[in-house]
Amino acid sequence: MSSAILYTFRRCPYAIRARLALAVSQVDVVHHEVSLRDKPAAMLAISPKGTVPVLQLADGHVLEQSLEIMLWALARHDPQGWLTGAGWDASAQQLVARNDGEFKCALDRYKYPERFPEQDQVCYRQQGEAFLLALEQRLAGQPWLAGAQAGVVDMAILPFVRQFAHVDKAWFVEAPYPKVRQWLTAFLDSALFLGVMEKTGA
Ligand SMILES: N[C@@H](CCC(=O)N[C@@H](CS)C(=O)NCC(=O)O)C(=O)O
């Protein structure tokens, strides 16, 4: 095997963050788009937990966590300095942990309230808004969470905020988070994001 193989799912926010880092680091990767309902045996053989993304390196080594894939790619080549300074310092790491924990939990409930009938959808949205408010405050006076330039902290979180915004677009455009909106729009319009969302047909 000469290139690494990425098992990915186009709309999965974890897979998107991995693809962003792999794209910016210009690592040579063959992408395999998987169906989550019918995961390929080759993927399950190397990663029985059955989540995407999974990256199998040319030497056979397997990376099974999206953040691990980001950090591996950027450690090889980080031309835009995503790992530098506030891009991946202790506060950035805490924010990403909060994204992957509390915010993702609220996002799942906000997106699929019928699966979580204990509370109503607005309540789940409000739980997610606590995180949006933290982002809004961090974006005061700087375009990216990392500062003047984007970093891992931005790219690891943006795919999840994108999903949150899409649940109720009419609400999001009016919500009191203008900096978050601007930040998300800059990302959605970027060649990098559009590139990793291209349909490969694979
Ligand atoms: N902690 C994992 C989470 C990955 C994850 O949960 N991916 C979802 C898709 S967004 C998945 O593959 N779920 C399995 C399924 O739906 O069967 C990571 O960071 O890579």
Could you tell me the residue ranges of all domains in the chain? 4-79, 85-188
Taking 70 as the threshold, does the pLDDT of residue 202 lie above it? no
| Distance, CA of 83 to chain centre | 16
pLDDT digits (tens, 9 = 90+) for 156-185: 999 999 999 999 999 999 999 999 999 999
At 72 the pLDDT is 98
pLDDT digits (tens, 9 = 90+) for 24-70: 999 999 999 999 999 999 999 999 999 999 999 999 999 999 999 99
Cβ–ligand 1 distance for 108 under 6 Å, the answer: no
Taking 60 as the threshold, does the pLDDT of residue 201 lie above it? no
DSSP string covering 36-104, please? TTB--HHHHHH-TT--S-EEE-TTS-EE-SHHHHHHHHHHH--TT-TTSGGGSSHHHHHHHHHIIIIIH
Task: Tell me the average pLDDT of the chain.
Answer: 96
Instruction: Point out the ligand 1 atom lying closest to the alpha carbon of residue 36.
Output: 17
Residue with tokens 């919500």: 175
- Cα of 14 from ligand 1 centre, angstroms: 7
Q: Indicate the CATH number for domain 4-79.
A: 3.40.30.10
Fold held by 85-188 = Glutathione S-transferase Yfyf (Class Pi); Chain A, domain 2 (1.20.1050)
